[in-house]
Amino acid sequence: MNKRAGPPDIGNAAKGAWFEAQVKSILEAQWGLLLRSGVALPIGDPPKARRFDLIGEDGQTVVECKFIALTQSGNLPSPKRVECNKAVFYLNRLQAVVYRYLALPMVRPRGYESTARYYWRTSRRLLGPVQVLEVDVDVGIATVVGSDPKLPRRTVARTTRPPTVGQSARGRVVRVRRVTYWVYENWAQKRARVHRADCVHCNAGQGTRGGSSGHMVRWHGPFRDRVEAFHRAARTGHLDTQGCERCDP
């Protein structure tokens, strides 16, 4: 596999719990929202309590986590699809919940799409207001796969960090030059790239043509933190999202 499928020395049930913990940590950092595990919410009419994997402290966010991988031939086993479909069914039965997510791992056999993208492509008619999250545990980013622009999108909480201060060899306090990052978005090519500000393709958000060229291109930034820049790139919703191959941010 191109992507790690979790710790190899634990069983499937433990891998599911491990993946849920990873999703919780990533989403709390990415969304700035405290998530609680295993909270019961009423579904259906008459209402009946059911436990969900992750519930936001705002009461408006619910996430179901499924650690499922495709086969080596690029297919989703039928029992695993049933698990995902059941999770989507219960998410759709929730009342007064704005954000509903099915979190699947960024795991894929070589040469095939990931589990999250495969499930979204083959099960779109079942999703309704449920959005599929592709969670890359290695990078620490969760991306909404092929979402409907009419559905509500979660935003990333911004944090302000003080400038870095260092000590010179002579004992004087000096201000260290901080590397900043920019995100290049191209709607025509449906892609996003993260650049260092000093990259020849970026030039501090001016690009090679002195800024945004046309209404199909936009620069986002600057970002003081690399992770924040990658989170912003993920929020564009483009499937082709990665770091610049030239500056390697």
* pLDDT for residue 235 is more than 80: no
Q: So what's the pLDDT on residue 112? A: 64
Average of pLDDT values for 101-114? Answer: 75
pLDDT band of 231, cuts 50, 70, 90: confident
pLDDT band of 155, cuts 50, 70, 90: low
* pLDDT for residue 32 is more than 60: yes
Average of pLDDT values for 50-56? Answer: 92
Is the bond into 46 cis (omega within 30 degrees of 0)? yes
Q: Which helix (H) or strand (E) holds 127?
A: helix 115-127
pLDDT band of 35, cuts 50, 70, 90: very high
pLDDT per position as a tens digit, 210-225: 655 567 888 998 888 7
What proportion of the chain, given as a percentage, has pLDDT over 70? 74
pLDDT per position as a tens digit, 67-106: 877 666 666 777 888 888 999 999 988 887 888 999 998 8
DSSP of 179-236: P-EEEEEETTTTEEEEEETT-TTTTTTTTTTTS--STTEEEEEEESSHHHHHHHHHHT
Is the bond into 222 cis (omega within 30 degrees of 0)? yes
Q: Is 46 helix (H, G, I), strand (E, B) or coil?
A: coil
CB hemisphere CA count around 104 (13 angstroms)? 27
Both structure tokens of 76: 């989703």
Q: So what's the pLDDT on residue 214? A: 60
Task: Write the CA distances from 175 to 23, 162, 179, 207, integer angstroms.
Answer: 36, 11, 13, 27
**Residue 75 contacts residue 109 (beta carbons within 8 Å):** no
Average of pLDDT values for 218-233? Answer: 82
Which residues lie below 8 Å from residue 121, measured CB to CB, with a gap of 6+? 113, 146
pLDDT per position as a tens digit, 175-217: 434 678 899 998 888 888 889 888 988 988 888 876 555 678 8
Q: Which amino acid is at 38?
A: G
Mean pLDDT of the chain: 77
